[in-house]
Homo-oligomer: A and B are copies of this chain.
Amino acid sequence: MTQKRDHGGGLDAAINKYGGTRADWLDLSTGINPVPYPMPALPGDAWTALPDQAAFDRLYKCARCFWNVPSDAAIIAATGASAIIAALPRTAKPAQVQISGPTYNEHGAAFQASGWQVSDSAQSTMVVVHPNNPDGRLWNEADLNAPFTIIDESFGDVAPDQSLIHLASRPGTVVLKSFGKFWGLAGLRLGFAIGDPTIIAKLTDLLGPWQVSGPALTIGAKALADPQWADETRTRIAADAARLDTLLTRNGADLIGGTTLFRLYKVKGAKATQHQLAQHRVWSRVFPYAPDWLRLGLPATDRWAQLEAAF
């Protein structure tokens, strides 16, 4: 219970260790788009009024359009995909769950906190991250056939052609979407669960009413009705990911995989590389279970020089 899990982020801890101010640091430890969706003007009552059902309805309409959600799938927004990940194990009776790893570690932690056992041989419940974090692995639809299947597409918006959203109409299946990563607004806290109406109804009870802020309802609806920004972003981050690969491979790293929002490299001693980059105020992600894996997100447009100087 309540054990601190290993994550990206934690820039404050890096600052404590290596010095400098927040502004000095280039935080590449997460997969958050560094060029966020431009903040729209917020209506005055976005902050002051209790979020209205109509605002939720607007957000859900835009989400259904943007992700081409099957009509018979239900949808709910929450304060980040993280809130949904924490709640999902409580929508079913604890049993065994298959979580193909290595992957994002909140899924296993949430199932275990709810009394489930994580097991490679479990057949009734499975969780996949698609594309997978940190290696970018994509899943075949044919392999996702458990009676209770969770498909976490938190990084799926980089490659909508690969989305398995059509499976959201299948009984027992839930697809997760994250807003913070692709739209670069992780502080806003917005995520979605889409799928079997019975499971979504249980999530509704678990999360309680007014579970998303007024600003998140407004900004989410606007961004999800703006496919042009999404298209341009996909083009830009693909170019930046290629530029990152060039820089890293030139410096002796091998590309393992990733998505266009983060890249996973094989290096000689990830901790030593993390330390070297940190001397230049660049923060990276290492993995306790893989001592030669280094994950890097994309720098903002005007911060490439700092990264290049760190090698």
Contacts and interface: CB of A to CB of B under 8 A. Distances in A.
Contact of A50 (B32, B79, B208): B32
Interface string A180-215: 100011111100000000000110111111111111
A45 B187 contact: yes
A171 interface: no
Contacts of A208: 80, 82-83, 85-87, 106, 110
A32 B208 CA distance: 19
Nearest to A33: B48
A83 B49 contact: no
A152 interface: no
Interface stretch (A8-16, A61-69, A236-244, A246-254): A8-16
Interface of A: 1-2, 5, 7-13, 22, 27, 30, 32, 34, 36, 39, 45-54, 79-80, 82-83, 85-87, 90, 106, 110, 113-114, 180, 184-189, 201-202, 204-216
Contact of A201 (B2, B114, B201): B2
- Number of this chain's copies in the assembly equals 2
Contacts of A202: 1-2
A8 to B, nearest CB: 8
A207 B215 CA distance: 20
Nearest to A85: B208
Contacts of A13: 53
B207 A86 contact: yes
B86 A189 contact: no
A35 B54 CA distance: 24
B212 A79 contact: yes
Contacts of A47: 36, 39, 185, 187-188
30 contacts: A1-B201, A2-B204, A9-B52, A10-B52, A11-B49, A11-B52, A12-B54, A13-B53, A27-B49, A30-B50, A34-B48, A36-B48, A39-B47, A47-B187, A47-B188, A48-B186, A50-B186, A79-B211, A79-B212, A80-B211, A82-B208, A83-B208, A86-B209, A186-B214, A187-B213, A188-B215, A189-B210, A189-B211, A189-B213, A215-B215
A211 B10 contact: no
